[in-house]
Structure 1
Amino acid sequence: MKSAQGVRSKSWNAASPDGSNPLAATWSRIGVRASLTVPILAEGRCIGALAVASAYPRPWTREEVDLTEAVAQQVAATAEGLRLFQETHQHARLMGRLIALNETLNRPSSSAVAAAAIGQAATDLSGAKGCAVYARAPEGSFTCLWAKGVSEEDTPLALAAKFVLPPDATDGTAQRTPEGPSPTLLCDALELPPDDADRRLVEREGYRAMAVWPMTSEGSVVAGVCCYFDAPRAWTQPEKEVFQTFTWQAVSALKNAWLYEAQAERTYELEALYELGSRLRAADTSQEIFSMLAEHAGRLLRADQAALSLLDADRQFTCVQAIGDAPDAKDSITPVARAILSRVAETRTPHVTEDLGREVHPAQGGGLPTPSCPIGPAIVVALQSEREVIGALAVGRARGKNVRPFTQTEVRLLQGIAEMGGTAISRARLFHNLEEAYIQMVLALARAMDARDAYTGNHSERLATLADGVAQAMGLPEEEVRDIRWAALLHDIGKIGSPDDILSKPGRLTESERAIMRQHPAVGEGILLPVARMQGVARIVRHHQEKWDGTGYPDGLRGEAIPLGARILAVVDAYSAITDARPYKTPGTQARAEAEIRRCAGTQFDPRVVDIFCQMLARKEREAESALAFAGPSPRA
């Protein structure tokens, strides 16, 4: 029927004598000659028709028409009531399922867990065969957080773009409401023209129908969920209402997850910064500080490469520490373009880029050609002391299709690391300078000690040469050799407070004088202990008068309880005491000194040290004889 008016017919044969009316043929086939048809109307909509038929031609009275219309109204009311009941029942059932999902959606979790819960809930509510959940980045791009039964590549991402495109950029299936864009509901892709873009996209995924539900917050799309169906799918009004409510819950869950992750990330950063501060304060060397800064910067900012560069006296950058996946990380970050490093140092402003390779060119002093630079997103920040810029700290991520650029939060984090690093490096440099000044003062005192005794001038330097040779011959590590050499130079520094008349006394010392002299190892240790680098040296100085059998001083240590450096120093000091000239004796020969030292091996000296020392003396004597023989007899005058 083309209208909501009733249709009356006295005789279908009369109405269509030629049989062209299809209803006439139908009525004739079942023996109907006259009919009365009225529409069934519900809320102004025609939802059906009520027909009364007669086997004989006849007219229809006004009373019959009114009665039929009244019956039709009753049928309409009953049908509408049934429809409302079904919709209410469906709505209640769906809301019940939604309430059951509410606890899962609002449980504190990561965005990945929340997206999985949202996707699974959307699948359960809609009966979809495939589903994907997307998040929208601030710049507008979409990232797939979770997918089931659908690819995570270009096809669903193209569909997700319908969340934000204006209506005139789509086929009109998506409309914008005050709360944001409305869902795109494609009931059957085959109803669209074969060349329609949406049809091709859905068919590429192997489905027939699709629903794209945007998740909005404050009128802006922040995420979305796509549902795919393998058969045509129509949405009832209750389903639409419930799913709309679901998207509000889902976006709330997703935002809570992002806040949860941000809080966890912030906590992680604060703990890492606290750890870095503690480690920097405990660092003994500048190299330890360099390593900590590069390692923490790379780890905290999830960078593939990090580099620390310092300015030298000529204000040129030198890379002092680099970490990264690539073997050439040091080369690829530090020359970042010295122009960029210099600009950062000059302006003290961070340099942030999404693709470093596009900025680096050979013309920029020290820069790399674009194809050679493996870095995409990068940050370079100034490293500052209290008064000036002392270097730069750089981090970068490897170039790639889906590499994430650095955020302003990460820029500020790197600046915080650089600030801590600049302070730590400046403090380490100041401490190093103070140590150097103290060591130079101690060396000056040691030379003054040698100068006080004309007979023992340069005694400490000769002792250091001998001790160094023994330590080298024993294959000791370079650091231990260095400590032994320093101890030899400073072993008598504790005598600085001893009276001259005792130091230069030609005869035997009295018990009281001997007690004063026995204090010098402990006094020497006390002078050296304030210098961190001299801890090992101080220990050797304290024990260089100990004896192998435990009868030495100041602590009476025995055997290998005596530090090895102190045992070496005891041997070479005894050798020097025998062979050096003193006010109370003439210098002894090397043979006599060697014989005396061998005699005291096992009581005063470590036998192994004695053997190596004597072998060294013999080797030096052979070398001297060979050199003399090679030179030949001296020419006659």
Structure 2
Amino acid sequence: MVKKIYLEEICDRENLKSFLSRFRRLTGLNCVPFNERGEVVIGKIEDVFKGMPDASEFVQYPTSELIERPDGSQVRLMKLEYRGHLYGAVLIGPLLFPESKYKGRARLPVMTTDQIDAAVESVESFFIQMIDLAAEKESLARKEKILSVLEEASNIMNSSLEFQNLLEFLMDIAIEITGATCGALLLRKESKNYLEVAVARGKYPQEVKKIRVPFGEGITGWVASNKEALNVPNVLLEPRYIETPETIYSEMAVPLLVGDNLIGVVAVDSSELNAFSKDDVLSLSTLASMVTKVLENARLLANSNQKLKELSRVFVISESLSARTLDRAGYCNILKEVCNALDCGAASLMLYNTDKEELLMHAFSGLPEELDSLSVPNGKGYHGWVSTQHRVLLIQDIQRDNTIQKCNFLDHFARAALIVPLQASDNRFIGTLSIYHKDEADPISDSDQDLLNTIGRILTSHFENERLFNDSKRKLDYLSTLYKVGSSVSKTLNISKLFDTILQQVQEVMDVENCSLMAYDPLNELLSLDAAIGLPSNMVGQIQVKVGEGIAGWVAQNRKPVLLKDVSKDIRFANHHGRMDYKTRSVLSVPIMHNNELLGVLNVNNKRSGDAFFEDDQNLLLGISGQISQAIANASLHEKTDMQVAELSLIQELGKAVNSSLDLDSVLNYFIDMTTRITDSDRATLMLYDDITKELYVEVSRGFDDPEVLDVRLKLGEGVAGRAAQLQRPLKIENTGKSADYKELPNIKRKTDLTLISAPLINKDNLVGVINCERVLSKKGPFTPENLDLLETLGSQASIAIENARLYHNLLNVYLETIRSLAAAIDAKDSYTHGHSRRVTDLSVGIALEMGLARSEVDTIRHASLLHDVGKIGISEQILLKPGRLTDDEFETIKSHPHIGAGILNSIEFLKNVCEIIKHHHERFDGKGYPSGLANASIPLGSRIICVADSFDAITSCRPYRKPLTFDEATDEVKRCAGSQFDPLVVEAFIKLRTSKYCPIWFKGDTLDQEIADEFPLQL
């Protein structure tokens, strides 16, 4: 550096005084020198110019300016300017010119212009000699110092200095030998075309260290690009100059070369103009050539050591990450290693939550504990920017950075930050790895960035391996679950138990808070909660959702699965998730389908981990829904098979029952009961066809509270039953409320819509009747085609039995008419017994009904009582009509009529069951009767009933040998004989008969009135 030498430094004061003294003696002139600051070096200014203004103003005057004093004398100003450097000025005088108009008193030298110039030249020559001499001494001293410094530098560089210390030493030497104000040593990054500041000296070293200089830009960039030294005496006039925080006017830079390879540039600066000379350039270049090889070797060694340390740190981190799973503390320890490796104050690891689209703090080191739950929305702040751009972000000065808007503590607390994205090979963003400098440390370098990228890749591999392992484990669990579900499906047909088992397996493998299965009701288009795990038990069977409503309703309507990572962000369902007693965050619902038919919906809500559902979860649930649909189909098939077996069994049972009976009422009642049960009907009617009126009329019904249903008559083609009869084929009405064929009878009102099936009863192409079944539509939905086929099958079988029973009933009526005629003929033989058989029959039937006997037993007693005296046909009329008392022989003859009657009727097949009753109707309860002397229960019940009726009618009828008793007298007589002649139980029923609904009209009086009795003919 060209050192600035002041005027007082170039001359010895004694020599200067001696020169000024000689000059005065020779010229008579005073000479007062000033330095460049306007300070007098020797002498007094008053000796030359009294009242002289501030001498610093001399720089404003031209060289060799004459200044006139107030008294008319002159003073000569001579500036001491040499080689572009102003050292000061010299005032010479006072003096007079020949033409001067001097007003003073003192004697002053008079001089011509040439004399003055000669005097000035001598003064100037003296000072130039002094300046050159001083400069030469300074140069020799500086060269000596440089040689000394270079020698010292050579010795030091040959020692084992670390690379950074060597850089620091080199910078200090460069400053020292050039006399620079500040400077910087810049190194080239390997294979990069820019320079980074490695060492800086000056007022703002940290600010300077942030500067990165591309090749060709600025003074140092030009030197790096051209590999030549450059000295710029005035940077203000240099267009290549790039402004720095330091205030400088001169700059010199030399390249650091190893062979032809540039390793860096050393630059020195000065706050003065023209600060550096060629010698300075040579000295700095010499220093650079001396240190470059050593510097390169030290750099390589330092890089190797650094790489070794980094590899060691990376190995430790990699070893830590080799564990299958790490807890939060484990990741925090890894971040401590990151801080040690990169010499930073803090580090953080944030993972990206794709569902919430935000970064979540996973682990950190050197940060406040309050950041444990920090979340950063996508695109917000520095970290959010990295999560959207997927690029490395380096901020060397956060406080001055305005490129990205800050949003949280992490964006403010540090001075510098480096944020590296963690990104998988498929470009899937995983999270961020960040380091922070909290104080005025060295800026974050490229090597720091390379190392953090390496650690980031290791972390990415770790998380990817963990994800793949978890995916594999989850898929294995899923396959295991599907196997278990399939095994459960194959082992049971109990749907309710199976559903609970499946839901437990789903909850276990998917680790969800709750799961549920909703069954589809196609009739009402509703989903009902049939099974659930993790929900309140009182919700099962109570919750119903309309198709199209809410998430499950949407799935049912569209037959598509729904995967919602965040329900609140889906406009379709955001208003529905709060209806139940739990908070729904993430939802997965899939339809349960079988042969393109919807069976229900399977739902899972909220993973316990807080994570959202993803595609693998959906695939698992779809697989399980397929298993469930198969289970439902199997159970349905089994149920259908069981039902078909039951139906066939019932059909067989019905066939046996109706074909084993020829009683029409029994056949009709059994048939309608069986039909109602098989078809699960609420109501049923069996209508028979009247060939005469051509109408259908209700013969029997079930489930109707209104008895007026028995008054219903329909013409062929009228209503559903009439159309079924007319068309002679079964008909089905799914919904009576929507069918034009359904005719609502005015006297039979329905409050709800019904489903109806009607089947004609056809026998040999002849219409027998119609069977109708109906039920409330909402109960089990409409009747199925299978129900209709079953009803047709039952009807075809029943029609034969009904027709046979009707034919038998008609034949039986013919027989009974014959019997009635026979009984009338018997009664006609004796005027006193006229109507006796009829009255005995009325009383016997009434007693039997009052005792609650079955209809078949009542019919048998009816026939037996009507024919109880048929044996009298074999008794002589002389005995029967004898007006007086009978002899013992005659009475024995009369006593044979029960035996004779039984013998007569025994040859008639359908009356064989009455023979024993007729044979023993004169037996006594105490065993003293005839013909067999039976007693108590040995006597047929019918015989015991007829015995009471026959005796009562006998004692209340008029006889030639006695008068009749009144009903009350006869009743008392019957009571008296209870337990001896009569069965007490029969007597008890007989006593109740007069007030019973079964009492004959003629029996309601006090005495027998033949005319009244004749008005009520016997009903067979």
Structure 2: how far apart are the matches of 1:377 and 1:592?
Answer: 64
- What residue number does 2:671 align with? 293
Which of 587, 590, 612 is matched with 1:210 structurally?
A: 587
Paired residues of 2:587 and 2:605 also in contact (CA < 8 A): yes
- What residue number does 2:555 align with? 163
- What residue number does 2:695 align with? 316
405-414 or 565-574, larger mean C-alpha shift: 565-574
CA positional deviation for 1:382: 1.6
CA, structure 1 residues 419+132, in 2 after alignment: closer, same or farther (shift >3 Å)? farther
1:198 paired with 2:573, answer yes
Q: Which amino acid aligns with 2:655?
A: G
1:352 paired with 2:732, answer yes
- What residue number does 1:422 align with? 799
Paired residues of 2:548 and 2:556 also in contact (CA < 8 A): no
- What residue number does 2:652 align with? 274
Q: Give matches, 1:163-562, under 5 Å.
A: 163=555, 165=557, 183-192=561-570, 196-205=571-580, 206-218=583-595, 221-229=598-606, 233-283=611-661, 285-312=663-690, 313-324=692-703, 327-328=705-706, 331=709, 338-357=718-737, 359=739, 367-368=745-746, 372=750, 374-398=752-776, 400=778, 404-443=781-820, 456=829, 461-465=834-838, 467-468=840-841, 477=850, 486-487=863-864, 489-491=866-868, 493=870, 520-531=900-911, 535=913, 537-544=914-921, 555-558=932-935, 561-562=938-939
- What residue number does 1:178 align with? none
- What residue number does 1:83 align with? 467
Q: Mark the runs of 5 or more structure 2 residues left unpaired by the alignment.
A: 1-385, 882-886, 967-972, 991-1002, 1011-1020
CA positional deviation for 1:97: 5.1
Paired residues of 1:379 and 1:406 also in contact (CA < 8 A): yes
Structure 1: how far apart are the matches of 2:604 and 2:785?
Answer: 35
Give the % identical residues.
19
Paired residues of 2:837 and 2:866 also in contact (CA < 8 A): yes
547-556 or 216-225, larger mean C-alpha shift: 547-556
Paired residues of 2:837 and 2:869 also in contact (CA < 8 A): no
SS in 2 for 1:368: coil
CA positional deviation for 1:429: 0.9
Structure 2: how far apart are the matches of 1:17 and 1:518?
Answer: 133
Structure 2: how far apart are the matches of 1:27 and 1:589?
Answer: 137
CA positional deviation for 1:18: 5.5
CA positional deviation for 1:314: 1.1
By relative contact order (CA 8 Å, sep 6+), the higher-ranking structure is: 1
CA positional deviation for 1:182: 5.1
CA, structure 1 residues 242+408, in 2 after alignment: closer, same or farther (shift >3 Å)? same
CA, structure 1 residues 67+390, in 2 after alignment: closer, same or farther (shift >3 Å)? same
Paired residues of 1:381 and 1:393 also in contact (CA < 8 A): yes
Structure 2: how far apart are the matches of 1:397 and 1:544?
Answer: 51
Paired residues of 2:685 and 2:702 also in contact (CA < 8 A): yes
Q: Give matches, 1:25-104, under 5 Å.
A: 40-47=423-430, 75-96=459-480, 99-100=483-484, 102-104=486-488
Compare the two structures and name the one with the higher helix fraction: 1
Structure 2: how far apart are the matches of 1:481 and 1:329?
Answer: 25
Paired residues of 1:495 and 1:524 also in contact (CA < 8 A): no
Q: Which amino acid aligns with 2:792?
A: Q
SS in 2 for 1:389: strand
SS in 2 for 1:198: coil
CA, structure 1 residues 121+427, in 2 after alignment: closer, same or farther (shift >3 Å)? farther
- What residue number does 1:589 align with? 961
Paired residues of 1:110 and 1:260 also in contact (CA < 8 A): no
CA positional deviation for 1:354: 3.0
Paired residues of 2:947 and 2:982 also in contact (CA < 8 A): no
Paired residues of 1:307 and 1:394 also in contact (CA < 8 A): yes
Q: Which amino acid aligns with 2:554?
A: K
Structure 2: how far apart are the matches of 1:467 and 1:428?
Answer: 28
SS in 2 for 1:320: strand
Q: Which amino acid aligns with 2:815?
A: Y
CA, structure 1 residues 233+257, in 2 after alignment: closer, same or farther (shift >3 Å)? farther
SS in 1 for 2:907: helix
Paired residues of 1:42 and 1:76 also in contact (CA < 8 A): no
Q: Deviations over 1:418-461 (max 9, x none)?
A: 2333222212112212222333445566677889xxxx377985
Q: How well do the aligned residues superpose, as a CA RMSD in angstroms?
A: 5.5
Structure 1: how far apart are the matches of 2:596 and 2:889?
Answer: 98
1:20 paired with 2:399, answer no
CA positional deviation for 1:319: 1.8
CA positional deviation for 1:146: 0.9
Paired residues of 1:136 and 1:222 also in contact (CA < 8 A): yes
Q: Mark the runs of 5 or more structure 1 residues left unpaired by the alignment.
A: 167-180, 580-587, 625-637
SS in 1 for 2:770: strand
1:146 paired with 2:526, answer no
Q: Which amino acid aligns with 2:402?
A: S
Paired residues of 2:840 and 2:946 also in contact (CA < 8 A): no
Structure 2: how far apart are the matches of 1:503 and 1:332?
Answer: 49
CA positional deviation for 1:96: 4.4
Paired residues of 1:357 and 1:370 also in contact (CA < 8 A): no
Structure 2: how far apart are the matches of 1:92 and 1:499?
Answer: 106
Larger radius of gyration: 2
CA, structure 1 residues 39+543, in 2 after alignment: closer, same or farther (shift >3 Å)? closer
CA, structure 1 residues 381+458, in 2 after alignment: closer, same or farther (shift >3 Å)? farther
CA, structure 1 residues 39+517, in 2 after alignment: closer, same or farther (shift >3 Å)? closer
Q: TM-score, normalised by structure 1?
A: 0.69
CA positional deviation for 1:394: 1.6
CA positional deviation for 1:184: 0.6
Q: Give matches, 1:555-574, under 5 Å.
A: 555-558=932-935, 561-562=938-939, 563-565=943-945, 567=947
SS in 2 for 1:203: coil
SS in 1 for 2:910: coil
SS in 2 for 1:393: strand
Structure 2: how far apart are the matches of 1:118 and 1:349?
Answer: 46
Paired residues of 1:463 and 1:576 also in contact (CA < 8 A): no
SS in 1 for 2:600: strand
479-488 or 390-399, larger mean C-alpha shift: 479-488
Q: TM-score, normalised by structure 2?
A: 0.46
Q: Deviations over 1:549-607 (max 9, x none)?
A: 8687654435774422553587599999996xxxxxxxx5346999xxx9xx99xx948
- What residue number does 1:169 align with? none
